[in-house]
Structure 1
């Protein structure tokens, strides 16, 4: 016999499933009321509520618990499973999720809504399809989110019927029927939907403030990358520096090596490109252009932040209005700040403020940067 305290309408933080004709606790949400009291465990079988026998219809249990308040006494067959300590796994989310719009989640009220860029602590990954997570900033009890595997399948459109394990499709205060949910996926051979290319959750770690070695300005042609770069370089040449691109073309009249370009031979550039000595490179009008890694290292070793203005080359990107959203989609998860350059002075102030902030505050970075 287990006694719990409950406020009418309060979510218990527990979901149920029917197993062999019995009502079983499917999961207990970390930080919820049941978890805090520590009296029930996943796998426990519910037999009675306040002396009333629970039949195998989940709706009966739902009715018993929905409006219950004060002391609630449960008769259970214990599973003798102990709860797990929350894991120290933190992820950065790279998509928006609203459980209210998810027809697969076993309990919408138990779901956790989040947005792109949110940092979550994953506290339980026992379920193949549904993880328990909580927000790092707000803390509090955990909620259900799609697992990496589930969201990969949903986004990759793999053609097959996937029958999810019985999810425990009743949560306190929510009616439900005992049925399995199915997901239908469509096949695609398009490389952009390759499972390994999908960015869903990124493992991150919190690090103290550190000095950045580079500032990379990325944007479509005509949005003012070069103007922002030059304004920053002129404002503090002792703090910021840049590189000159290498090129295989011959110097024009009046051009000097090392002023606007570093001139070299095509064979030398091709050999260095093959050996991975260029950060980026391309060909224009029969000549090679590129940014050499050594030139970046020289700026950094001189104690300055190397400012780079990258222009992603893509034959399909014809106009600025088309380029920007495509760049955002393809590379947005790498961006620290997105600036709409309606006013150069205002954009410059925003850029400077962002640089000062990242140098003085703790940050979540990919774990591959740390370990």
Structure 2
């Protein structure tokens, strides 16, 4: 059995990645995962939104009913949770805490409200904000996905402005203008 000091020494870390919808967080994290296979684990969030084309339950998200999600909130089963664009999103607590206790680096890709909850509950979490080079470029990216109606895009852009204003709440800000440069900045933030 390990002593308490060894358990603390072997403890992993929690890394929070946040930023506006469409900023490229998913692309950067996929590149990071490809570059560092087995060295980082990604938490799987639960959500009440519908799956996008190609998304798989249990791999991309846990796609839950609102009733199941609300029961998990009541039971205290989330590290963080929030409502965004009419859907609930949250990070189930048990698996993430187990991985951290086993010495793993665990990455949470979450929105601002959840990142703020993590900042309160896990003061030692590393918090990284991914920002767009400009709001105009972010709008182009959102429209280029061709997944949202005009009203949804307008709502995401309004929310993005609020999120960008909160970037100084994070430990690091990565501006995703050129993918390779942004990836190097993200690597430095996580592994330094």
| TM-score normalised to structure 1 length | 0.33
Instruction: List alignment gaps of at least 5 residues for structure 2.
Output: 1-8, 114-154
CA contact (8 A) 1:239 1:303 kept: no
Which residue pairs with 2:189 in the alignment? 354
| Counterparts in 2 of 1:338 and 1:295: CA distance versus 1, 3 Å | same
The reply to whether residue 282 of structure 1 matches residue 83 of structure 2 is yes
**RMSD of Structure 2 on Structure 1 (CA):** 3.3
SS of residue in 2 equivalent to 1:338 = strand
Deviations 1:71-103 (A, max 9, x none): xxxxxxxxxxxxxxxxxxxxxxxxxxxxxxxxx
Match of 1:216, SS state, is strand
Q: Show the counterpart of 1:318.
A: 158
Q: Per-residue displacement from partner, 1:116-157 (whole Å, max 9, x unpaired)?
A: xxxxxxxxxxxxxxxxxxxxxxxxxxxxxxxxxxxxxxxxxx
8 Å CA contact 1:219, 1:327 repeated in 2: no
Q: Secondary structure at the match of 1:282?
A: strand
1:337/1:276 CA distance change after superposition, 3 Å: same
* Cα distance change on mapping 1:263 and 1:223 into 2, 3 Å: closer
1:300 Cα deviation after fit: 2.5
Higher strand share: 1
Instruction: Name the CA shift for 1:265/1:295 in 2 (closer, same or farther; >3 Å).
Output: farther
Residue number in structure 1 paired with 2:171: 336
Q: Which residue is 2:31 aligned to? A: 231
* Cα shift at 1:318: 0.8
Shift of 1:324: 4.8
Does the aligned pair in 2 maintain the 1:281–1:291 contact within 8 Å?
no
CA deviation vs aligned residue, 1:16-64 (integer Å, no higher than 9, x gap): xxxxxxxxxxxxxxxxxxxxxxxxxxxxxxxxxxxxxxxxxxxxxxxxx
In the TM superposition, residue 254 of structure 1 has moved relative to its aligned partner by 7.7
Contact 2:19 2:163 in 1 (8 A): yes
Q: 1:224 to 1:247 in 2, by over 3 A?
A: closer
State the shift of 1:283 in Å: 5.5
How many angstroms apart in 2 are the aligned matches of 1:250 and 1:267? 14
Q: Which residue of 2 aligns with 1:266?
A: 66
Distance 2:184 2:89 in 1: 31
| SS of alignment partner, residue 112 of structure 2 | coil
Once residues 44 and 18 of structure 2 are traced to their aligned partners in structure 1, the CA distance between those partners, rounded to angstroms, is: 17
The answer (yes or no) to whether the contact 1:277–1:292 under 8 Å persists in 2 is yes
Larger Rg: 1
Q: How far apart in 1 are the matches of 2:175 and 2:101? A: 32
CA contact (8 A) 2:15 2:108 kept: yes
Q: Which runs of 5+ in 1 are unaligned?
A: 1-208, 358-371
Q: Alignment partner of 1:222: what SS?
A: coil
Contact 2:12 / 2:104 at 8 angstroms: preserved in 1?
no
Greater share of helix residues, 1 or 2? 2
Aligned residue runs from structure 1 range 168-247, under 5 A: 213-247=13-47
Shift in Å, 1:222? 2.7
Distance (Å, rounded) in 2 between the aligned partners of 1:297 and 1:225: 23
Superposed displacement of residue 343, structure 1: 1.4
Report the counterpart of residue 305 of structure 1 in structure 2: 105
